[in-house]
Structure formats: C-alpha cells, structure tokens
Structure 1
Amino acid sequence: MPQEDSSSSAAAAASQKQEQLKNGKLIVFSVAADHHNNDFTKAPTTLSSFASNMLGTGSVKKLVIKNFKDKPLPLENYTEETWQKLKEAVQAIQNSISVKYSLEELYQSVENLCSYNLSANLYKQLKQLCEHHLKAQIHQFREDSVDNGPFLKKMDKCWQNHSRQMSMIRNIFLFLDRTYAFQILTLSSIWDMGLELFKSYIICDQNVRSRTIDGILVLIAKERNGEMVDRCLIQRLVTMLSDLRIYQESFESKFLEETSRFYAAEGRKLVQKKEIPGCLYHIKKLLEGEVDRVRTYLCLNTQEQLITMLEKQLLGEHLSAVLQKGLSFLLDENRIEDLSLVYQVFSKIECGFQVLLQHWIEYIKKFGSSIVINPTKDKTMVQELLDFKDKIDFIIEASFLKNEKIIVAMKDAFETFINKRPNKPAELLAKYVDSKLRTGNKEATDEELEELLAKVVILFRFIHEKDVFEAFYKKDLAKRLLLDKSASVDAEKSMLCKLKQECGTAFTNKLQGMFKDMELSKDIMIQLKQYTKNQNIPGNIDLTVNILTMSFWPTYIPKEIQLPPDMERLQKNFKNFYLSRHSGRKLQWQSTLGRCVLRGEFKKGKKELQVTLFQTLVLLMFNEGNRFSLEEIKVATGVEDRELRRTLQSLACGRARVLIKSPKGRDVEDGDVFFCNEEFKHKLFKIKISEIQMKETIEERTITTQRVFQDRQYQIDAAIVRIMKIRKTLTHSVLLSELYNQLKFTLQPSDLKTRIESLIDRDYMERDKENPNEYKYIA
C-alpha cells in the first residue's frame, strides 16, 4: 500500500482548517501518535509545551491533530499479519484450544483494521471463517445410526459450543460490530450472523430439523407418561429453536398437534372411567403439569394456546357428559370443594360456563318442581323450599364465588318452578307465616324470627299470585289480631313493612288498616269505661269491643243468635255510646268472632274457662238446668246447626270435657243429650277450651279463591280500559300481549276473552266493523 507524502498531507490539512475557521466551525484539539510506527518521541509530552512550541514564532496558529481517518493506510503486510493473528484466534476458539494472544491485543487489532476502512473486508472474512467451520459440523448429524437420545445430546453440545464460540468471537470483534455491522441496516450483527449460519447449515437440513423436533416431542411424551427425562436438555434445545426463530413455525405447531392427539385420548378415558370429582381433580393436575412444563422449558407464549387446547380436549368435547355423570349428586350432597373445582374448571373453558349454567338451571327446576308439584308435600312445602334456597345460596357463595349470572339464573329457575302450580304455593306461604307469627311459637328468638321472615319474603318475591297470598294472609292476620293470638306485634309490623317494600303501599293498605282499627278500638274502650262510670250503668260483665272497618277486614257472614238479656243490654248500651260519638255509622255484630271468659264452680274446685261466644251460650244454659237435648239447645241459642254441633263437640268430646254427651261418641248426632260434668277436673285454673277447628274445608278455600278471582276481574277490566284508552285501536293478539306484561298473576286466554266481551257489552270498546279481530276504544 503506497504512503502519502507528509508535506502534501500537512498542506491539505492546513487548507481544511482555514476553511473551517472561515465557516465559523469549532476546532477540537487532540493529540495523536503515529500508531503505525509506534513513535511517540516527536509528539509533545504536554499540551502546554506543545502550545509554546507552536507559539514560538510570534504568531497565533490554530492546529488540528489528525484523526485516524487522516492517517496514511498501513502497509499491506501489516493488514495480512493482523488478519492472520485474528484468524488464528478464531480458529483456536472454534477448536476449543487456548488463544496465544490476549483479548486486549486482539481487540486493538480489530480496531486498527477498522480505522483504516477495512471493516467490510474484515466482516466478510470473519463470516467466511464461521461458515466454513459450520459446514464441517453438519456431517456428524447425518449418521442414520444415531438414536434420538445421543442425537439430541450431540445437537445440544454443538449448539452450546457454537453459542459459546460466537460469544467469544463477538467480544473480540466488538469494535467491528459497533462501528460497522450496527451502522448498516442490511447487515446482521456478529451474533445474529452466527445464528443465521447455524440455522442455514445445521437446522435447515430437513433431516436434522425433523430428528431434533421429533426427539424433543418424544422426550415430552415420555414425561407425560410418567418417565424421568432430562428437562434441562429439552429447555436448552427449545431455547435454541427460539433463538433461531423457528420455534413457532417448526416446533410449536407440531407440539400442539401431538398434545391435542394425546389429550383427546386421555379425555375419552377420563370420562369413561372416573366420576366427576376424580375426573376434574385429574384434569386439574394435568393442567398444572402442562403449566409447569411451559414455565420450565417452553416459551411462555405457548401457554395460552396449550391450556385452551387441553381444556377443549379434556373437557370441551365432554362437557355435558361430565356434568350429567355427577353434578346433581354433588349438589344433593352439598360437596362444596368439588363444586368449587367444577366452577373453576368450567369457567375457564370456552362455552363451559354456559353448559354449567344450563345444568345448574335444570337442577334447580327439577328439584324445586318435585317439592311444589307433589300434593303430599303440601304440609312441608314452604319449609323445604326455604331449606333448598338456603342450600343454593350457600353453594353460590362458597363454590361459585357469588357469580352474578349464576345468581340471576337461580332466581329465574325459582320463579319458573314455584309457579308451576297456580295459587297453592301462595296460599301455603301465607299459612306458613301465620304458623310462625301465632302465639305459642317458641321455636325461634326474635332475631331468628326476623331472619326467617326475610327469607319468606324472598320466596314471596318469586310468586306470581301475590293477590292469593294477600287474601289468605289477611284472613289469618284477622284471626291473630281479634283472638289475640299474635306472638309479637313487632314481628307483625316487621312483616308488614317487608311486604310494603316488596309490593308497595297499595298492597298493604288494608293490612295496615286492620292494625289501625285495633289501636282505635283500645281508645274507644277507655272512653266506654268512662262513659259507663259517668252514666252509672249497672252490670257485672266486662265488655270489650273491636270496631272493624268493613273494607279492611275479611268478609264475615253475620249470624243471628239468641243472647242472654244481660248481654243484649250491654250490646245496646255500647251501640248508644258509639253512635252518640259517630253519627251516620252502622254497626253489625259479628257473633262468630266473639269470645268470653266464664267462671265455673265444680266439685273439684273453681275454674276459669276461656271460650267462644257460641260455647258461652251453650254453657250458660246449664245455669238453668242439668240436662238439655241437641234440639233444645238449638232453639234456645239460635246457633246454626253445623256451628252448634261443632261447639258441642268441643265441650263434650275434646280434652276439657265440661259437658257429658249421651250416648258417648266422637260426633254429635240428632237426639244426643248433654249433661253438666260436675266431676270436671283439670290441673290448671285458667282453661282455654279451643273450638273444634274444622280443617279448612274445600268450601272455605273456594270462597277465598272466588273472592280473589273476583278482584282479578276488576284488575283485568281496569288494565284493558287503561291500555285501550292509550292505544285507541289494537288487535286481539297485541292486547293480550300487553295484558300479560301488565298483570302479574297467572292468566288464561279464556278469562281475558270473557272480560273483553264484558267490556264490549258495557260499551267501553267495540270491534272494528271490517276487521273483527281489532278493537277500538269508545271515548
């Protein structure tokens, strides 16, 4: 390589500096030595001595020390010698022998060559050297006799050696990498160049790649079958595929395909052999194993696809089959942990949650229907429904993490099955509340009773026939209030408040009116006592009267009876007193609701008897005589035959027999004669003789049901008129649809048709003359 003339070079540099000064450029001073000749004697030792030498002429001079690029090119023999040195070092690294030169020396050599614009040639020579080495390595993998195990170890060793070698080579050629390879977009870094060469000459060989990937898959399959394998070997080989950027295209797809095939067979075996808990626990274990496998030696990007595929093969294809095998059993047995596992597994699978939700709904409907539809369970229906609801709520909280969709599905299922039997659940729910609010119910504390009532209201929420509940609840509430059988006024008002929150003020208006009547009656009794005292009205009978507003209370049929003179006089006095303060009102006595306290003297001692008004009339007759026939008692009291027989039966055939019937028997027949039981005895002083409670007859239930049905007619008529007034014209089908949306109780099309015809007859609406299926509102 020819040398430049130093004088001409200096002149050119001076010219360049002057040009820079003219252009206002900043000149940086630097000191450089002649690296080629290693001659530092001509360079000033310090910047100050250097400056004094330059300023000795008496004129100011600007000097720029030449950069490396301004140095003359080295001799050709230097370039060749330097490359040989580097080549020897690279080959020593590739052959795993010691390098004669230090890393600093080799690095400086690369820097020197690059400073003389030899980077491109140096990069090319290095690449050829690496390429030649890898070409020699491929032959060891083409031996067909090598088994998968040794083959993979040989591949791993080759890769590890190559990685180590390229790392060391890159350290030597780091200056070339930074100043040349990184600056040119079309070139790869030295490390990437090594990867590309390894990929091109080793892995891109079809036979080598197939055997490598198949070998890895064989090791994974062995591990899945419980064999011990070298996980570190797999991890290093998978890392190699990832570094070479062939992991996804060459390995991942095949790995997922093999995995899918393996777990498809595993899923079929699981469903056939194991029950649902064992099946799910095994699936959970397999999933955890695959997650661990991914984290140990696979790429994390594979995990999502792998788990999704596993869930599909292990469960996705068998969702209904798995749940049909054991979900009902788990729910019946309240297996919280197993149900929690079911929820966890099925929630992660595509469509799994929907399948679980469907089976959940079917189970609730089936179990609930078995309680509601079966008439033999009427006595225990409400309690069983409450227990079932508690159980379902606990499962939702403990196993299903209060999932909102599961809660909504549960509510819909309850609403469906509880209304499969019209009217009956509403009636039984009202009677259940009555049994819990009556005197004598000591099963629960106030807090427990409050909690129970809250649960009852939740069941009430699902019932469509709320008017039926109201009718029976009102009838039972009236008995509790009038007969003073309510266990707790606070509990009664709490229940009323809950119903008001659930259905609004209109629903509880009459019930609240009943409580108001009872409170006003107490005030009236205080006024009555003061009135009796002021008027000096004689009498030794204490009278208590409840004034009932007819529109609030159930309808009672008044019955005419013959009262003793003293009782008639008390009634007359009260009537005069009340009407003197409330003119224009009409009083109607309800004898069926009357109760009295009698004091009786028997041979065994005195007793205080709490009896009904009818029982009172019968017992008072025995003050006038000791023997009366059925016919005589009927004439004297005026009590209607069926009520009288029931009254006599309670006095002569019950537990407290203050009368004796002849002939003996459980039923009262024509011609029976009754005597006073002088030998009557009882351990208590105060004795309550309960009226023989006829089981709620079909007739009584029918009356209540008919009353509800009649009220519904008014509601249907009002809804039809309201809809037609707004819409003016509607077809029959649209009108029915609107009515189904507005009216909450169960409706039959025939009932609606009857009400529509009734409104047409009463000129509220009319049929269209051209289209009989269309109705018009008449303003």
Structure 2
Amino acid sequence: MAKLRNAVQAIQQSQPTPHGLEELYRDCEGLCIHSFGSELYAMLQDELEKYTRKCLSGISGLPDAASSDGTVLEQSMHFWLGYTQQLAMIKCVFLYLDRTYVLQTPNIASLWSMGLNVVKNYLINSDMRARLSWLIIGEVTKERDGKAVNHKPLVTVVSMFVELGLYLQLFMPSLIEATHEYYQRESRRLVGQLTPIQQQTDTEEKVFADTMDVPQYLLHVKRRLEEEAQRVSNYLVSSSKSALLATTTSELVEKHTEKLLTSSFDTIADRSMLSDLANLYSLLYAANRIETLKRHWVAYIKKSGLRMVQAPDIDVSLITDLLTFKQKVDSILDGPFQMSSMLANAMRDAFEDFLNTRRNKPIQLLAKYLDQCMRPSSKVTSDEQLDTLFEKALALFRLMQGKDLFEAHYRRDLAKRLLLNNSSSIDAEKLIVNKLKSECGVGYTSKIEEMFHDMDMSKDLFEKYSNSQYSTEAKDFGFHTNVLTTAVWPNYEPMDLVVPTKVEQAQENYLAFYKEKHSGRKLYWQQSLGTCVLKVQFDEGPKDLVLSLVQGTVMLLFAEHNDLSYKHIQENTALEGAELRRILQSLACGKHRVLVKEPRGKTISETDTFTFNSKFSSPHMRIKISQIITKEPEKENNEIEENIQADRMYRVDACIVRLLKARRRVDHSSLVSELAKQVNFAISAAEAKDRIEMLIERDYVKRDEAEPSTYHYVA
C-alpha cells in the first residue's frame, strides 16, 4: 500500500516512480485479490483530495491581477491540464481496481469520475468556483469593450467547468446575467443618444461612435451578435450560443423596438434603404417583434398613400405615383422582408384602406391611365412593357372598390380608341380584356368583348357593302362605317350636322343596304365619332389633313368660298354655338392654323370671319389637327356615376331580398354587415337603411312587430 501511495505522490509531483508501472499494477492487483480494494480506493481518494486542496488553495491566494506566476486563470489552466494527465496515469496504474472493486461495488464512482469529483467538490465548497466564473466573465467583458484577451486559459477553464458539470448549472446563469447587464447599459446609452438619419451613405463604411443614427445602431447590433457567436466558437460552449444571442437581442433590440421604429422607420422605408431594412427585419424577427414592425409598416403605407390619394391637385399623376409607391413597397417586401406572409397581408389591407377612402376617384383615374397607355402617343411601345404595365395596374385594380365604375369608364375610353382608330395595338387591347376576365369573370367583360365583336362584324359587313351596287359613289372618297350595338357601347348625344352632299348620299345608300340585310333594325348616325382625311392644296403644295368629320365638314365649306363668316358656317353646318366655336378654334387658333381668323385672337365670337390659309406650311405631308382639348366634362362623369349608382342600388335590393329569403328573419346590424360582405363596392349604413325602407314600402320586407330592428321576408 505504501509503495502505491509513494507512486501516486511521485506522479502528482511529475517525478519518475520508484518502481515500474507494471510492478505497481501487479501490487494493485494483489491487494484487490486480498480484499484491500476499499482501503486502496480510500487511499487514492485521500491523495487526490490533498493534492487538489494544496494546488487550488495556492492558486486561490494569488491576486486577480497578473503576477510573476501568471494570472489565476493561467494557473488554473496549468493545474487542470496537469491534473487530468496525472489522473490518466493513475488510472492506468490502478486499472485493476477500477475494473474489479469499483465495478462490483454499488454507488461508487469510477476512478476518473472520483478524481473529477474531488476537484468539483473543492470548487463548490470554496469560493474558487465563483472566482473563476467572474474572472472568465471579466475577460468576456474586456473583449466586449474591444480589448485583447488570451483565449487559451479561457478555453481550458471553460472545458474544466464542462467536464466537472459546472458550466450549465453554475456558470451559465452568471454569464447570462452579466451579458444582460452589459448590453442593458450599452443600449440605454446608445438608444438614448440616437441622432436623426443623415443623408444615405454606405453604412458598411461608417465609424461606430458613441452617438449614431438608427441604421448605424442596427449595424452595431448586428456586429455585436456576430461577436457573441464568434466568442462561443472561440472558447465558450455551443449550447450557450442561443441563450447569449437571445439575451443580446433582447437588450439591444426587443426592449427598444418601439423607439427604433417610431424614430426612423418611415424615413428608412421612404428612402428605400434596403440593406438597413434587411438588418431591421432580421433583428426584429430574432426578437419576435414582427407584430410591432407590422403596425409601423401599415401606418407608413397608409400615411404615404393617403397623402397621395387625398390631394386632388396631383390627380393627373396619381396612378403613376401609386404604381411607383407600390413598386417601392413590393421591393421592400420581396427583399428585406423576405416575402413575410404577415407583412404581405398587412400591406394589402393597408392599400385597400387608403385607396378606397376617396370613393370612386382612384379607380376612375386608373381607367384613364390605361386609356393613355393604350394610345399611340404613349411611351409604352413593346408588348413586354405593356404586359408589365397591365400587371402593375391590375395589382392596384384588385385592391380598389367600385370595379363596376372602372368597367364603365374603361369601356367609354375603349370605344373612343376603337372608333377613332387611336389604339396602339388591338392585340394589347384584347390582352388586357383577357386579364380583366380572369380577374373578375366572364360577365364583367361581356360588353367589352361585344364591342370587339361589333368591330369585326362591321368590317365583314362593310366588305359586303363595298362589293354591292350601293357603294358606287362612296368609293370616290373612301367612305367607311361601323355598326354598333346600342346596349353595348356608351351612350352618345346625337349631333345635328349638315354633312356634304356626297357623304349624305353615301349614308343613305348604306342605310338602304343595311335594311336589305337586316329588316326591323334602326340605325342612327353618330356624326361626332366620325373622322376623315382631306387632301388640301396649299401654296407650299398638297397636304393630307386628318380631321374629325365635323372639322372636315367645316373645311369643305372653304372649297367654294375663300372667306366665310361665323354665321354662314353655322347656317351651313347646323352646329350649335359651343360646338362650332370649339371646331373653329381648333382650325384657326391651334398649332396648325389652316384658317385665318379676323380679328386675330384665341376666342371665337359670332362676328368673326374666317379665311382659308393658303400660305400654311409644314414639313409633314400628313397633319393631324386635334380638336381643342377641354377638361373632361363633369356632366359625362356624373352621368356614368349616376347610372352605376342606380345599378348598384338594384343589386343591393336583390341582395337584401336573397338574404331575407334564405334566413326569413334578420336583425338590422346583421343584415347590413352581411350586405357589405356580399356586394363588391362600398355601401354606407345610410344607403343600406334607405334601400331597406324602400323594400318595406314595396312590401318585399316587413318589420317585426315586437322588435322594429328585425326584418322578415314577405313571401
């Protein structure tokens, strides 16, 4: 026994053993065979305890600051490395004890575990464990402050804590608490000194200072998280990574989310600072604060959208501005916000909310915008550009209420493009109709498709007319006509116009031809929609003038008389004063002045005289003289809205009756709520109440005698 004790002490002193290892092993085996296992085990434990107490108490007496023997952490590192090596050798010597006595005796630890427990018990029962913990945390703090630290002793001591089972239960709570306190102080200082966002620069090149704006702060947080992750990789345990990052995120982001978003989110989003938005989203996602981000995201979209929608002075560019804004928020959603379904749904709801605050107007302007894009003068030329534009416009269309109003305005503008041959592409026209059909159903585009059908039928019909005996005189001046279905096309006010004799004769011949083909149908000429091309001889040479039928009729009067008075023109055309003044103004006061007015000026009066301008010159052979562009008549828009509103009320009536017929008995609030869900346009509570009262008067609905706010269906 004494020989083995001396051998253990020699190993602990890093000295050669007096006897060979094989001889020591045989001695251990002999003692175990003769039932001295318990004494041998106790002796070994006693020697380990004495050695551990001696070494660690010596280390414990060292100052925290570095001494000639090194720091406490360095000395602890040397102790642990030497102790584990010694323990491994001791285990080899006493292997027979470990495989016999230890295995056969219940509730007794293996030699390796016993050796570790000796160190563990000493650390727990003394202040050494707490001191080592705070020394490690002190090194972590120094590193967080930007100072260099020696990782080697940290790796060893942390490994010792892990081996002894002290890391998770006794060290980790202290580390997390220190992390919490460190970043709590730092975040309070930095967030309390946040500055307004400066002009956008490359944030990767910014210098981190005590004062910073929100993008800089977010980048600082991102750097801190990367440092914590690297720290775990360098000398901490991987299992502590999630807790460290969660604590850092909580203190730097979660607790200051509201202030960060309130102070800067609108500016960051407005400037499309995508990298900063990506940092913000990733940090808030880690902090489980996406719900707060959603609230500010919705508020930003609504505020920006309302600023555009509720400013009538920018109606001209409203749709363009909305499309630009939609593209901006889409780029934020697709990129930095990683197509978050929560934020995507919130964005859609926000757009629906602000787009429909100004009832009917945005969707009316959307129809006008598409009309402008489909004209030859539009800058959108290629099919790819048109398809992209249609998709963007439909994205807004889906979010707008009043789609029936859009259909009415779009159909009116489409009619003008088709009849005046002023569309950039018929294929593109049909493409957008197909998109509207896919979006809203066959019934929505039925009238629009019927318009295309009328144009195709008119073309076939005119070919038959051209091959008949009725077209003899019409061939001399290129007469052409379209036959439109009244119920499909927009309503046009008839115009009393005395057309030239040849045109009048051609019209009568066409009527005779048409009645021969279709008996019982009535045709009415819409002179205001006609166009013509006149070949006019000027001093410079012949020019082709592209005119409306009304403009052409006025110009032909000058074929016989060089000078005409306002009264003479009015008598020979039967045009009303306002319409005649508008036509004469386009011919005598516009860009291309083919008539000369006396006296000169931009206004037309009944005492004016007009002379054919033979000196008119232009570098172009074909010249289109547009009619004077006036502001779109409010009367026409009001008529469309009145017709749509009347149609809506009929649909509301039908919906109310269907609901009551299905349920037999419904209270007022439930009826109004269900009604709002089933109609695809906005209806106010007052309008719903008026329609219910009307149905009560017509005996479709009756009030409950006991509860006046409840209605019954009248069979």
TM (normalized to structure 2)? 0.92
Counterpart among 442, 457, 465 of residue 505 in structure 1? 442
Residue 136 of structure 1 deviates from its aligned partner by: 4.3
Opposite residue 454 of structure 2, the aligned amino acid is D
Residue pair 2:417, 2:423 contacting (<8 A) in 1 also: yes
Opposite residue 354 of structure 1, the aligned amino acid is E
CA distance in 1 between counterparts of 2:288 and 2:419 reads 61
Question: What's the counterpart of residue 201 of structure 2?
Answer: none
After superposition, residues 193-232 of structure 1 pair within 5 angstroms as 193-200=114-121, 202-232=122-152
- 1:719-760 Cα offsets, whole Å, 9 max, x none, are 222222222221111111011101122222222222222222
Question: What's the counterpart of residue 658 of structure 2?
Answer: 722
Question: What's the counterpart of residue 476 of structure 1?
Answer: 413
Counterpart among 392, 397, 403 of residue 329 in structure 2? 392
Give 3-state SS (helix, strand or coil) of 1:545's partner: coil
After superposition, residues 60-71 of structure 1 pair within 5 angstroms as none
Residue 484 of structure 1 deviates from its aligned partner by: 0.3
Count matched residues. Answer: 694
Residue pair 2:60, 2:72 contacting (<8 A) in 1 also: no
The answer to whether the aligner puts 1:743 opposite 2:707 as a matched pair is no
CA distance in 1 between counterparts of 2:570 and 2:524 reads 22
Counterpart among 227, 236, 241 of residue 303 in structure 1? 241
Residue 110 of structure 1 deviates from its aligned partner by: 2.1
Give 3-state SS (helix, strand or coil) of 2:682's partner: coil
Counterpart among 314, 335, 342 of residue 377 in structure 1? 314
Give 3-state SS (helix, strand or coil) of 2:476's partner: coil
Question: What's the counterpart of residue 595 of structure 1?
Answer: 531
Gaps of 5+ in 1: 1-82
Give 3-state SS (helix, strand or coil) of 1:87's partner: helix
- 1:299-323 Cα offsets, whole Å, 9 max, x none, are 2222111111110111111112223
Residue 139 of structure 1 deviates from its aligned partner by: 4.5
Opposite residue 119 of structure 2, the aligned amino acid is F
After superposition, residues 646-657 of structure 1 pair within 5 angstroms as 646-657=582-593
Residue pair 2:474, 2:506 contacting (<8 A) in 1 also: no
Opposite residue 557 of structure 2, the aligned amino acid is M
Question: What's the counterpart of residue 42 of structure 1?
Answer: none
Q: 1:234 to 1:725 in 2, by over 3 A?
A: same
CA distance in 1 between counterparts of 2:685 and 2:615 reads 64
CA distance in 2 between counterparts of 1:764 and 1:248 reads 76
Counterpart among 5, 13, 28 of residue 95 in structure 1? 13
Q: 1:186 to 1:647 in 2, by over 3 A?
A: same
Give 3-state SS (helix, strand or coil) of 2:617's partner: coil
Give 3-state SS (helix, strand or coil) of 1:462's partner: coil
TM (normalized to structure 1)? 0.85
Instruction: Give the CA RMSD over aligned residues.
Output: 2.3
The answer to whether the aligner puts 1:105 opposite 2:23 as a matched pair is yes
- 1:130-183 Cα offsets, whole Å, 9 max, x none, are 334444446435648675874444444433333222221111111211223134
Residue 538 of structure 1 deviates from its aligned partner by: 8.1
Counterpart among 549, 564, 572 of residue 613 in structure 1? 549
- 1:595-635 Cα offsets, whole Å, 9 max, x none, are 22333334443333322222233223334434433333323
Opposite residue 490 of structure 1, the aligned amino acid is D
Question: What's the counterpart of residue 255 of structure 2?
Answer: 317
The answer to whether the aligner puts 1:326 opposite 2:264 as a matched pair is yes
CA distance in 2 between counterparts of 1:678 and 1:702 reads 43
Question: What's the counterpart of residue 361 of structure 1?
Answer: 298
Give 3-state SS (helix, strand or coil) of 2:533's partner: strand
After superposition, residues 698-717 of structure 1 pair within 5 angstroms as 698-717=634-653
Q: 1:207 to 1:121 in 2, by over 3 A?
A: closer
Give 3-state SS (helix, strand or coil) of 2:17's partner: coil
Q: Which moved more, 1:98-107 or 1:493-502?
A: 98-107
Opposite residue 230 of structure 1, the aligned amino acid is N
The answer to whether the aligner puts 1:629 opposite 2:565 as a matched pair is yes
Question: What's the counterpart of residue 108 of structure 2?
Answer: 187
After superposition, residues 562-601 of structure 1 pair within 5 angstroms as 562-601=498-537
Q: Which moved more, 1:612-621 or 1:547-556?
A: 612-621
Q: 1:135 to 1:393 in 2, by over 3 A?
A: closer
Question: What's the counterpart of residue 676 of structure 1?
Answer: 612
Counterpart among 95, 99, 109 of residue 174 in structure 1? 95
Question: What's the counterpart of residue 285 of structure 1?
Answer: 223
Q: 1:722 to 1:209 in 2, by over 3 A?
A: same
Percent sequence identity over aligned pairs: 38
Opposite residue 450 of structure 1, the aligned amino acid is D
Counterpart among 361, 377, 386 of residue 424 in structure 1? 361
CA distance in 1 between counterparts of 2:56 and 2:588 reads 116
Give 3-state SS (helix, strand or coil) of 2:702's partner: strand
Q: 1:137 to 1:689 in 2, by over 3 A?
A: closer
Give 3-state SS (helix, strand or coil) of 1:425's partner: helix
After superposition, residues 109-188 of structure 1 pair within 5 angstroms as 109-137=27-55, 139-140=57-58, 143=61, 150-188=71-109
CA distance in 2 between counterparts of 1:210 and 1:365 reads 55
CA distance in 2 between counterparts of 1:293 and 1:185 reads 42
Give 3-state SS (helix, strand or coil) of 2:377's partner: coil
Residue 493 of structure 1 deviates from its aligned partner by: 0.8
CA distance in 2 between counterparts of 1:123 and 1:253 reads 35
Opposite residue 161 of structure 1, the aligned amino acid is G
Residue 449 of structure 1 deviates from its aligned partner by: 1.9
CA distance in 1 between counterparts of 2:137 and 2:624 reads 88
- 1:116-138 Cα offsets, whole Å, 9 max, x none, are 44333332332233334444446
Question: What's the counterpart of residue 54 of structure 1?
Answer: none
The answer to whether the aligner puts 1:658 opposite 2:594 as a matched pair is yes
Residue pair 1:275, 1:325 contacting (<8 A) in 2 also: no
Opposite residue 161 of structure 2, the aligned amino acid is L
Question: What's the counterpart of residue 74 of structure 1?
Answer: none
After superposition, residues 509-520 of structure 1 pair within 5 angstroms as 509-520=446-457
CA distance in 1 between counterparts of 2:150 and 2:575 reads 101
Residue pair 1:647, 1:692 contacting (<8 A) in 2 also: yes
Question: What's the counterpart of residue 232 of structure 2?
Answer: 294
Question: What's the counterpart of residue 30 of structure 1?
Answer: none
Residue pair 1:729, 1:774 contacting (<8 A) in 2 also: yes
Residue pair 2:473, 2:506 contacting (<8 A) in 1 also: no
CA distance in 1 between counterparts of 2:489 and 2:64 reads 100
Q: Which moved more, 1:151-160 or 1:765-774?
A: 151-160
CA distance in 1 between counterparts of 2:608 and 2:472 reads 44
Residue 417 of structure 1 deviates from its aligned partner by: 2.0
The answer to whether the aligner puts 1:254 opposite 2:190 as a matched pair is no
Give 3-state SS (helix, strand or coil) of 1:308's partner: helix
Q: 1:124 to 1:570 in 2, by over 3 A?
A: same
Opposite residue 657 of structure 1, the aligned amino acid is R
Counterpart among 603, 621, 624 of residue 688 in structure 1? 624
Residue pair 1:767, 1:774 contacting (<8 A) in 2 also: yes
Give 3-state SS (helix, strand or coil) of 1:600's partner: strand
Gaps of 5+ in 2: 194-210
CA distance in 2 between counterparts of 1:287 and 1:601 reads 82
Counterpart among 226, 237, 244 of residue 164 in structure 2? 244
Give 3-state SS (helix, strand or coil) of 2:398's partner: helix
Q: Which moved more, 1:384-393 or 1:734-743?
A: 384-393
Q: 1:103 to 1:481 in 2, by over 3 A?
A: same
CA distance in 2 between counterparts of 1:154 and 1:293 reads 22
Residue 187 of structure 1 deviates from its aligned partner by: 0.6
Residue pair 1:518, 1:546 contacting (<8 A) in 2 also: yes
Opposite residue 394 of structure 2, the aligned amino acid is V
Q: 1:158 to 1:682 in 2, by over 3 A?
A: closer
CA distance in 1 between counterparts of 2:79 and 2:390 reads 78
Give 3-state SS (helix, strand or coil) of 2:689's partner: helix
Between structure 1 and structure 2, the one with the greater Rg is 1
CA distance in 2 between counterparts of 1:604 and 1:241 reads 103
CA distance in 1 between counterparts of 2:12 and 2:558 reads 130
Residue pair 1:396, 1:407 contacting (<8 A) in 2 also: yes
